[in-house]
Amino acid sequence: MTNCGRYCCQVMAIVKAISRPLWTKSRKKITMSNVGVIGLGYVGLTTALGLASLGHTVTGYDTDHNLIHKLSEGDVLIHEEGLQSALEELSSLSRVRFIRKASEFLGADVEFFFICVPTPQSQTGHADLRFVFSAIKELSAVASKNSVIVLKSSVPFGAGARLVSALARPDVFVASSPEFLREGSALRDFMNPDRILVGSESESASRRVLGLFDGLDAPKIVTTKEATELIKYSSNAYLAMRLSFVNDLAHLCEKTGVSFRHVAEGMGTDSRIGSEFLSPGPGWGGSCFPKDTSALLSVASEFGVSLPLVEATVRANSQAIYRSVETIRQLAGGSLLGKTIGVWGLAFKAGTDDIRESPALKVIGQLLGEGCEVKAYDPVATAALGEGYRQVNSALEAVAGAHVLAVLTEWQEFAEIIPSCVADAMAVSNIFDARGILPANLWKPAVESLRSTGEG
Ligand code: UDX
């Protein structure tokens, strides 16, 4: 058998060996490439393992030496489904390795460098690009001729041009390929993308980048760097706008006594609306929506354009968080002073341990400000919130003696808890299910029966 044939068998064996339920689609044969990934957080590590699972040889680099040590030992430090098993498989097949210094890229004949470093929001609302510029500077010294630097990190409109001049390597191409990964399902989203987007001044460089993803059957779009930047920010701002609308509508349903579940079902069956992203919450959060809505507003203001709907989306989200506090206050009898509130959920959404910009923490912060005690439980996330706050180790411990239970993150385990166990533990059975995940057919009777016996 020829080397190529042996190699293609190896690639197919890799994809077959690691294609667990997470990765359900068959893959075409691909041309293997050497890829470098800079920044190994949830986007970077997912990108590194995703590209390796497609058959490429991947070298991951991060300035956090402890992280590199752990990854080289086969340990994933973040809570993301499928990453641990993928790391174990791909490391054993020598498809992925990790380095401590960018200089180790020299001589590795890397053709593509993915920049996946954080672009946190600065005080002014603009994206802070210092990590991106630092990565570009390091690559300027080690990138091989004719290689392509691919920006995965969200960068503001027009930043690509500044990065090209900072790179100062006319023999190296720069492309932008924003990620659309959701925390909690990042690897699944990588292997099953709705689209793959690449923008660059050089169409051939864009085509080369797209070639890396030949194994994935998804629409592949080649456009300009600026367009990819606007697509990323606009997609997230649009999703956030949808959620602000959902949360406002859920509030109206609560006041009118109409089941929001029924309204969402009736709306979602319209193919133009779709049934995803119609679940209410105490507000939306995470490391992307708040940052990307703010970044889009910053871009617009730089060009003298107002985006009233995006502005209203952000305002409505603050309102949703305030309304959640107001609902809990009402359930506690009109004042939170001296009351005990049991909270289920700290993470900004289920499936992750990430508490960045978590609406649950924003609600808890406002509750504590009104003088109540908060006992919170989350299956994986942790948070230390100071006086009056205690994180406990079980859902029932969080409600023991509580006046109100607030469900703020949609972990499935909360929906599986037996209502009577909760009702028995609580001082009063007042429940605010901000996520609408508790089965109404079980919880409504349980709470009402206690209320009717005067215990609730
Ligand atoms: C988002 C985008 O979805 C993703 O495409 C982009 O690459 C990164 O930002 P992420 O922030 O990980 O992903 O989470 P997402 O699932 O979008 O949820 C964002 C917020 O919206 C969370 O607080 C979540 O709880 C909330 N949400 C989401 C709802 O309240 N209801 C929903 O139906 C969906």
Cα 446 to ligand 1 centroid, rounded to whole Å: 32
The residue nearest atom 33 of ligand 1, judged by CA position, is 277
Beta bridge partners of residue 405, listed in sequence order: 342, 431
Question: Which residue do the tokens 């993803």 mark?
Answer: 213
| Cβ of 186 less than 6 Å from ligand 1 | no
Which of the residues 116, 253, 288, 372 is marked catalytic? 288
Residues 6+ apart with CB under 8 A from 334: none
Q: H or E segment at 431?
A: strand 430-433
| Cβ of 182 less than 6 Å from ligand 1 | yes
| Cβ of 197 less than 6 Å from ligand 1 | no
Query: Could you identify the atom of ligand 1 that is nearest to the CA of residue 180?
Result: 7
Residue type, 246: V
- Tens of pLDDT, residue by residue, the chain (456 residues): 444 444 444 555 554 544 454 543 445 667 899 999 999 999 999 999 999 999 999 999 999 999 999 999 999 999 999 999 999 999 999 999 999 999 999 988 999 999 999 988 777 767 789 999 999 999 999 999 999 999 998 888 778 888 999 999 999 999 999 999 999 999 999 999 999 999 999 999 999 999 999 989 999 999 999 999 899 999 999 999 999 999 999 999 999 999 999 999 999 999 999 999 999 999 999 999 999 999 899 889 999 999 999 999 999 999 999 999 999 999 999 999 999 999 999 999 999 999 999 999 999 999 999 999 999 999 999 999 989 999 999 999 999 999 999 999 999 999 999 988 888 888 767 999 999 999 888 887 665 555 444 443
